């Protein structure tokens, strides 16, 4: 069992665990010291592993190995918006990774800004969305669907102001076959939250673009979509079965974007309001086939919005 002070040996070096930083269902992340400086050391959560059924344990191990393979295959320049892998190996037979240590996640960063009365400008929100869109393009080009885009999985590099996508344990290879539930309910597209036949889910890169739209709304308006909040509440109360209860309560799928939300979002963009709302609506379209097909389309539309925005600071959405 690892603990503070444990020395972990990976392929290219050794790392002394200093403090636990956080974790997910199957992983735990430590701040660790190495000769070249501190790193984020990601290990498999052995306590969760011991309680999980055998099939889930195998899935977690496979996901960790797939994450290491994906990150190790990236070119050096891909590290601009995707967290960099520094080292990898096994600890007690389980996969482990040393990752670059950044300055916390986007949710925490924006929480501090908003608590101190510093709202996020719409232009900054667009810039960050463009960065995340670039990261998703790399993930999709590598043959994966990310499937867990949310503020907690975006790390902030304060020095550059950049965001970096992290935690690829939920990612699935493309083309994605129907699969079991995965991800975080409050940021999921309908096809990722509401199962098809046999209780399975069929996702593709456009599933990630829905989450990108939910993130864009959250950045601009400072709150989660009502749709995302409803899905999160249903899942918290009933697990995956909450999807059927939510569908029955609404007589079908709940609206992914309400008129009030659309108006609240658009008012932040001044002369670019029409273009900004159109992009949000397309990203949040309930049917995957009516969302943008690729990152280049999203990038062009983001550029068009920025070109129409007043040079004067824009208002934050009310």
Give φ, ψ of 97 to 5 degrees: -140, 140
The dihedral over CA atoms of 313, 284, 225, 110, expressed in degrees to the nearest 10, equals -40
| Rounded Cα distance, 309 and 178, in Å | 41
pLDDT for 310: 63
| Rounded Cα distance, 294 and 54, in Å | 37
The dihedral over CA atoms of 68, 291, 214, 279, expressed in degrees to the nearest 10, equals 120
- Give the residue range(s) of CATH 1.10.510.10 domains in the chain: 106-308
Cis peptide before 175 (omega within 30 of 0): yes
pLDDT for 25: 66
| Rounded Cα distance, 277 and 296, in Å | 18
pLDDT for 316: 46
Residue 295 contacts residue 301 (beta carbons within 8 Å): no
Per-residue b or e along 195-204, where b marks 16 or more CB atoms closer than 10 Å to that residue's CB: beeeeebbbb
pLDDT lower than 70: segments of the chain: 25, 310-318
pLDDT for 311: 57
Q: What is the rounded radius of gyration, in angstroms, for the C-alpha atoms of the chain?
A: 20
Task: Name beta bridge partners: 105.
Answer: 155
The CATH number, out of the four listed (3.90.79.10, 3.40.50.970, 1.10.510.10, 1.25.40.10), of the domain defined by the range 106-308: 1.10.510.10
CA-nearest of 243, 248, 162, 171 to 207 is 171
| Rounded Cα distance, 248 and 24, in Å | 31
Q: Provide CB contacts within 8 A for 60, sequence distance 6+.
A: 25, 26, 44, 48, 49, 52, 169
| Sign of the alpha-carbon dihedral angle for 54, 56, 57, 59 | positive
Residue 149 contacts residue 208 (beta carbons within 8 Å): yes
Q: Are strands 162-165 and 144-145 parallel, antiparallel or unpaired?
A: unpaired
pLDDT for 314: 45
Residue 63: CB atoms within 10 A of its CB come to 21
pTM of the model as a whole: 0.92
- Give the residue range(s) of CATH 3.30.200.20 domains in the chain: 7-100
Residue 16 contacts residue 6 (beta carbons within 8 Å): yes
pLDDT for 203: 96
CA-nearest of 222, 267, 207 to 125 is 222
In this structure, CATH architecture of domain 7-100 = 2-Layer Sandwich (3.30)
| Rounded Cα distance, 210 and 135, in Å | 15
Task: Name beta bridge partners: 91.
Answer: 94
Q: Provide CB contacts within 8 A for 216, sequence distance 6+.
A: 125, 129, 279, 280, 283
């Amino acid at each position: 069992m690892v603990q503070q002070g444990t020395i972990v040996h990976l392929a290219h070096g050794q790392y002394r665990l200093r403090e636990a930083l956080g974790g997910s269902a199957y992983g735990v992340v430590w701040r660790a010291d190495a000769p070249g400086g501190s790193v984020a050391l990601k290990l498999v959560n052995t306590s969760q592993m011991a309680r999980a059924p055998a099939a889930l344990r195998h899935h977690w191990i496979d996901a960790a190995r797939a994450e290491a393979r994906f990150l190790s295959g990236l070119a050096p320049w891909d590290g601009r918006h995707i967290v960099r892998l520094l080292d990898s190996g096994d600890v007690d037979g389980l996969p482990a990774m040393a990752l670059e240590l950044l300055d916390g996640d986007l949710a925490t960063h924006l929480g501090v800004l908003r608590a101190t009365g510093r709202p996020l400008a719409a232009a900054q929100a667009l810039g960050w969305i463009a960065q995340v869109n670039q990261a998703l393009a790399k993930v999709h080009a590598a043959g994966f669907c990310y499937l867990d885009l949310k503020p907690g999985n975006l790390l902030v590099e304060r020095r550059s102001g950049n965001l970096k996508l992290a935690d690829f344990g939920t990612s699935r290879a493309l083309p994605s076959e129907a699969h079991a539930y995965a991800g975080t309910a409050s940021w999921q597209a309908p096809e990722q939250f509401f199962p098809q036949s046999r209780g399975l889910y069929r996702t593709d890169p456009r599933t990630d673009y829905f989450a990108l739209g939910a993130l864009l709304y959250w950045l601009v308006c400072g709150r989660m979509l009502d749709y995302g909040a409803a899905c999160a509440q249903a899942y918290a109360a009933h697990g995956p079965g909450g999807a059927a209860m939510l569908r029955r309560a609404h007589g079908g799928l709940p609206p992914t974007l309400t008129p009030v939300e659309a108006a609240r979002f658009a008012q932040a963009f001044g002369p670019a309001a029409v273009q900004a709302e159109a992009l949000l609506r397309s990203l949040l379209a309930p049917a995957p086939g009516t969302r943008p097909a690729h990152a280049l389309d999203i990038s062009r539309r983001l550029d068009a919005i920025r070109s129409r925005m007043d040079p004067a600071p824009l208002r934050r959405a009310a």
